[in-house]
Amino acid sequence: MVELLEFDRHALLAGEFWRLWSGHLVHYSAQHALIDFAVVLAAAVIVVQLSASPAAGMRRLLLAVGLGAPFISLGMLLIAPHCLYYRGASAIAAMLVVMAGGALWPRATRSMRAALLLMAATLTAKIAAEAAGALHGWSNLPLDVVVAWQAHLLGVLAGALTLPFRKPRLQLD
């Protein structure tokens, strides 16, 4: 059953488009699913709770996941031609972490902003280390599965695209 839902490059190119979404729902192990679920849940709660209303936050969350999942999968088809299979919600988690950071930023004190910047730097370093192959074997994935760092990068990009970009207001003192 899992094979029917995973991101499978050849199946997607043959027209099995549901895999654009479903590949983010299946995992390589229960531990893999639990870790992804914990991050997704924590970030989703922040996104929903810091929205204008819980209903608006839920709509924003569902829209982001509904559009973010195929964005990440299509991106994987384009930028990671060697990636034949992908399973997991870690790219969605990365997207939601960026969205949560964006929701926290306007409300954050100076020290909280420093912590958010440190977390962003840590996420960037993690993705860079994954790209360099420095973390292979450190994950909870089977040994023959390589972390798809490109998916994490695409998740961060998808999250950044959801952030409101406003010009800073000129303050006259």
What's the CATH number where 97 sits?
1.20.1540
Query: Each residue of 5-51: pLDDT tens digit?
Result: 999 999 999 999 999 999 999 999 999 999 999 999 999 999 999 99
The pLDDT value recorded for residue 25 is 97
pLDDT for position 167: 58
Helix (H) or strand (E) holding 57: helix 54-79
Those residues of the chain that have pLDDT short of 70 are 136-139, 166-173
Whether 169 is covered by a domain: the verdict is no
pTM of the complete model: 0.91
Q: Is residue 141 part of a domain?
A: no
Q: Which of 96, 115, 104 is nearest to 162 (CA)?
A: 96
- 114 domain residue, yes or no: yes
Q: What is the pLDDT of residue 42?
A: 98
In a domain, 173, yes or no: no
Q: How many domains does the chain have?
A: 1
171 within domain boundaries: no
By residue range, what is the domain housing residue 74?
1-136+146-161
